[in-house]
């Protein structure tokens, strides 16, 4: 899809991808691009974006509750305490994506983040939010980049601190999902909504 905002069944204009399924309509209208703060909330998004790598976002979105159950609602301290039995449980859990590398990265990242000061992950991630005045509103989804200088820098900063499975594309998807950038197209009902 390369077009601009299109009317949905309710007549409201939305990004074209936000109309492909009812799950997407809800996610698009109520969540994507809205500011997310808090270490545990950002840890969840970081993990889900990593699990999405190589898959469609709808696959992750439809398993989100399964991920939340499996990973203790993404409470960093709880996940950091997971041991080998938990790892085996996760590898057998059909409610999530059972990718060994992604599960191992999630567990390692939680252990690492548990040693950070409260608010440190939030502060680090949000320090890479670009100035909105420097970003023109995309007219079409083809105007939306997959990677930016900021997402590349964020990826490098997270990797330097020891976090795994967070490349520049995943970092940019995180920035979009968590409201660091507003990539809703011009005319979209969700553009500029915080």
Is 49 a known active-site residue?
Answer: yes
Residue bearing tokens 């548990």: 114
Tell me whether residue 92 is exposed, middle or buried, using C-beta atoms within 10 angstroms of its C-beta: 0 to 12, 13 to 18, 19 or more.
Answer: exposed
What does residue 14 show for φ and ψ, rounded to 5 degrees?
A: -140, 165
Q: Distance between CA 152 and CA 146 in Å, rounded?
A: 11
Kindly name the residue from 24, 32, 44, 49 that is annotated as catalytic.
49
Phi-psi sector, 56: left (phi>0), alpha (psi -120 to 50), beta: beta
Judged by DSSP in three states, 149 sits in helix
Check if 57 is active-site.
yes
Query: Among 24, 27, 32, 128, which one carries the catalytic annotation?
Result: 27
Supply angle C-alpha 29, 34, 35, rounded to 5. Answer: 170
The catalytic site residues sit at 27, 49, 57
């Amino acid at each position: 899809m390369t077009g601009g905002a299109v009317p949905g069944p309710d007549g409201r204009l939305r990004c074209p991808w936000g109309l492909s399924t009812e799950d997407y309509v809800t996610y698009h209208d109520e969540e994507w691009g809205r500011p997310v703060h808090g270490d545990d909330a950002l840890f969840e998004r970081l993990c889900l974006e990593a699990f999405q790598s190589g898959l469609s976002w709808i696959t992750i979105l439809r398993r989100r509750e399964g991920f939340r159950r499996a990973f203790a609602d993404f409470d960093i301290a709880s996940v950091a305490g997971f041991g080998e039995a938990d790892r085996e449980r996760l590898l057998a859990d059909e409610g999530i994506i059972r990718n060994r590398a992604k599960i191992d990265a999630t567990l390692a990242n939680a252990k690492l983040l548990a040693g950070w000061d409260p608010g440190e992950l939030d502060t680090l991630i949000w320090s890479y939010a670009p100035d909105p005045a420097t970003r023109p509103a995309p007219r079409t989804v083809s105007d939306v980049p997959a990677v930016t200088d900021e997402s590349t820098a964020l990826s490098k900063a997270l990797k330097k601190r020891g976090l795994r499975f967070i490349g520049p594309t995943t970092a940019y998807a995180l920035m979009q999902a968590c409201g660091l950038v507003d990539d809703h197209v011009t005319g979209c009902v969700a553009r500029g909504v915080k």
